[in-house]
Structures are given as structure tokens and as C-alpha cells.
Amino acid sequence: MCRCPRAVLLILLLHAPLSVVAGEPTRYAELAGRIADGIGLDRDLVQAVIAAESAYDPDAVSPVGAVGLMQVMPETARDYGVEGQTRLAEPATNLTTGMRHLKRLLEKYDNIGQAVMAYNAGEGALARGGGRVDYPETQRYTHRVLTDYLGRKGVAPYSEAARALVGIELSPAMARAGGERSGAEGVLRPVLARTALRPEMAARQAAAGATLAARRDGAQRLAAPSLRRAPPGYLRAPPTVR
């Protein structure tokens, strides 16, 4: 166990790479790769989606309820026979469910870019947009996933080869959609915004806080009479020395 002072540990954590802070890519990358092979998906695309969705954090839960490594909505999971958030949060189940959904989208659209947009915003949003989703979050998400994917393939993101591979034209403006900042802050904020405590963890934290508050109130009530009977120590006269 590290015996470093807390301040040192905090500094190390704040300056650690995003992959270390948010999740454990080395732990789940091989599992994801094996599942992708079994389902018939490109490993590189799957890894790019996981990195954007959860930064490899299996405990990630978004504000709207998307769960796990591939941020699968419980309603979507039920379409694939997966019931309950606890089961959906299991890494292997989450990866399998998310990849089955992604593969269905790829087969439906025959276009990687559109499938990625639909994975983020939903098929309805893609249909309403005529095959494109202009939500700023979806624009940033799509740019992040596809540039990561193309980088793994060794393809320049704004080239004709990239357009031929992913089916849509990428641009730097997509990364800035909605005024999102660039740099480390812009990378960290989407991950942190999508991550929340699991319900059972939040409940335990709330219960612990309530218990602490009750103890504090009780201690204050017990201390109040004694303060009326005698002044605090720093106001009392010093003992007589003989």
C-alpha cells in the first residue's frame, strides 16, 4: 500500500492519463475484442465507441440512465433480452448487448457514420434529420468516435479515403459543435458528465450522510446544557499553583 501523503496522491491522480482516471482499458480491451470477433464487428470501431461512451469505466451511468462500458439504455437492452440494471452493468453482458445493437445499426444503414450517430442519438433522430443528426452533442460524439477509429486504421480523418470508409464527411467544426472547448478539459467533461454513482452507492452515501448529521445534532444537544452550566475551558480561570 502506498504511504504517500494525501496531497501527493491527489496530484498524481489529477495528472494521470484519462484512461487511468476514468477506467481500465487494458482490463476490458481484450474482452471487448473477443466479443467483437464473435459478433462480427471491427475491433477498432468497438474500441473507439467504448472510449467515447465510458472511457472504459464499467460503472459509468449517465444522467439519462445509460449504463456501463457501452452506455446501453435499459429500454434498448430489453430488446436484446437483458432485464435489470444490475445485469446490464456486468461488463460482458453490457459489451455483448451494446455490440449487438451496434451491429444491427450497421446492417440497417450500411454506413458507419450514420450507425454511430444513431447509436448516440437514436434511430428516430437520424430519420428526422434525413440521415444526419445535428445535435451538438452527437456532432462532437461522432467526430470523436470516427477520428479515433480512423486513427486506428491509419487514415487521415478529413481525407477522401476517410469519407469512403465511414460514409460521411468529417470536419473540425464537428468537434467544436455547441461551443465545446478543446484540449484536456473538453475531453474530460463529456466523460465526467456521463458518469454518476450507481443507485445503490448513492443510497448508501445518502444514508451515511443522514446518520452523520443525526449524530452531530445529538452531540450538539448534549453539549448545550453543559455550556450553560460552565464556561468553556478557554474562559475558565487557570488552576492555582501551590
Which is the catalytic residue, given 30, 53, 160, 185? Answer: 53
User: Is the Cβ–Cβ distance between 72 and 85 less than 8 Å?
Assistant: no
**What is the residue type of 120?**
N
Q: Which of 87, 107, 102, 113 is nearest to 32 (CA)?
A: 102
Please confirm, yes or no, whether 75 is among the known catalytic residues. Answer: no
Q: What's the pLDDT score for residue 228? A: 40
DSSP for residue 237: P
Which residues contact residue 11 at a Cβ distance below 8 angstroms, ignoring those fewer than 6 apart? none
Q: Which of 59, 8, 3, 58 is nearest to 29 (CA)?
A: 58
Compute CA distances 20 → 16, 27, 78, 205, whole Å: 6, 11, 31, 24
Q: What's the pLDDT score for residue 26? A: 79
Q: What's the pLDDT score for residue 27? A: 85
Q: Tens place of pLDDT for every residue, the chain, 242 residues?
A: 444 454 443 343 334 333 333 457 778 999 999 999 999 999 999 999 999 999 999 999 999 999 999 999 999 999 999 999 999 999 999 999 999 999 999 999 999 999 999 999 999 999 999 999 999 999 999 999 999 999 999 999 999 999 999 999 999 999 999 984 444 333 333 443 443 434 443 444 444 445 445 555 554 444 444 434 444 443 444 445 54
The rounded distance, in Å, linking the Cα atoms of 85 and 90 is 9
